Amino acid sequence: MATALDPVIVDWLKLFNSSSCEELYSKLEQIHSEHKPVEGEHVRFSLQDIKHLSTSDKRGTILLDVTFYWSANKAAELIKDLRKNPPKKSFENPVVHRCSSVAEYATMNSLIPDVDLPGSKYNFVGQGYYSDIFFHMFFGNYSDFIEHIKKLSEQDLKKTLNTREGYPQFSPLFAPIIGRRMIHIERMSWLTEQNKRDIRMMYNGSNENKQVKILEKLLKLGADPNAHDIIGNTPLFYAAYIRYDDAEKIVSTLLRYGANPNHSIQYGSILRLFCNFLATLPEYWNIIDLLLSYNAKPKDYEEAIRIRYEMETKFPLEYAVKLREVCTKKKNECERTLCEVSTVKKCGACNFVVYCTPACQKLDWKFHKPTCKKKREEKSLENSA
């Protein structure tokens, strides 16, 4: 009997317009020979790894690599087309391109900041159709940015703040957030030393690297913190996607000026996005607290359970507890995250959650214990009031 394909593979077959794993793998080999999106002379995994993705010990590598393959191929097509047909400017949010699957959304996320902005692996100096002020903001040239702003009438300033540019239809706020990567081009292993010198020489090599200062000025001037690009991502999304030492300050600034932490993105929520991206980066975990302080929520119940599980397995206990209090279980469903049994047997200590068996309660106790104590203290205060 043939083994059922992993659902991710089914999505990839559609994405790469392939009818079989063999055809998909052949296309990956061809893309590798043309673009080498990952290091090495050959694709880093086998056809058998693709066929048995769900059990392959290379699953994480494969998921990431196939994203790079699709992005490399799509970028080559887009760059060629965009040089002939530069995108037009707009002054309102674009119609969102709805991705057909999680796989397409993931690959679009890796593609969009790269097809026409400096620092891309496949188009390292970017495209020339962005406005001068966009590149001032992108490179962090605060002096040039302010000089430009001073010359604008009130009407022209409002128009500038609403301008959408490039293939992704980025508004001004996207420029300094994504442009922060230009401060760190030495970390971009895909760029040659000559590539880096060429990028450094743009704007006469006088880049001020004041992207954060520009971001706050834009927000003070009235830029919309919830403007989105062609796949519905906002500046807050890119603050998570492009992470550097100033990530917490970027997120804090956006939230303070009205960025919606519950803005609907395709296939998930801002909260889960940050939880996923920050799981192995403890230096950024304060951002989770920041989002929760602004009432960030999961997109739906299914995602709430996924967040609970991820927090319990990847983060310290204190974060698992905090997220469980936001990602609550259904009424009368066992409190243990992976248990779906319905019951009315309440925790004898707090009377707040239910467990189907003493065994489930014991397994879940370390996660419920802090909340249990808090609920008992709250009840005691109510009774004494």
Chain segment 127-168, per-residue pLDDT in tens: 889 999 999 999 999 999 999 999 999 999 999 999 999 999
- Span 115-260 CATH architecture: Alpha Horseshoe (1.25)
Q: pLDDT means per 10 residues in the chain (385 residues)?
A: 74 92 95 90 91 86 90 90 94 94 87 87 88 94 95 96 96 96 87 87 76 97 97 94 91 98 92 89 92 95 94 92 93 95 94 95 95 90 76
* 159/223 Cα distance (integer angstroms): 10
Give the pLDDT confidence score for residue 204 in this predicted structure.
60
* 286/154 Cα distance (integer angstroms): 38
pLDDT averaged over the chain?
Answer: 91
At 15, list the tokens. Answer: 């994405």
Per residue in 206-226, pLDDT (tens digit) is 689 999 999 999 999 999 999
Q: Where are the domains of the chain?
A: 1-85, 115-260, 267-327, 329-385
Neighbours of 146 (CB within 10 A): 13
In contact, 35 and 76? CB cutoff 8 Å: yes
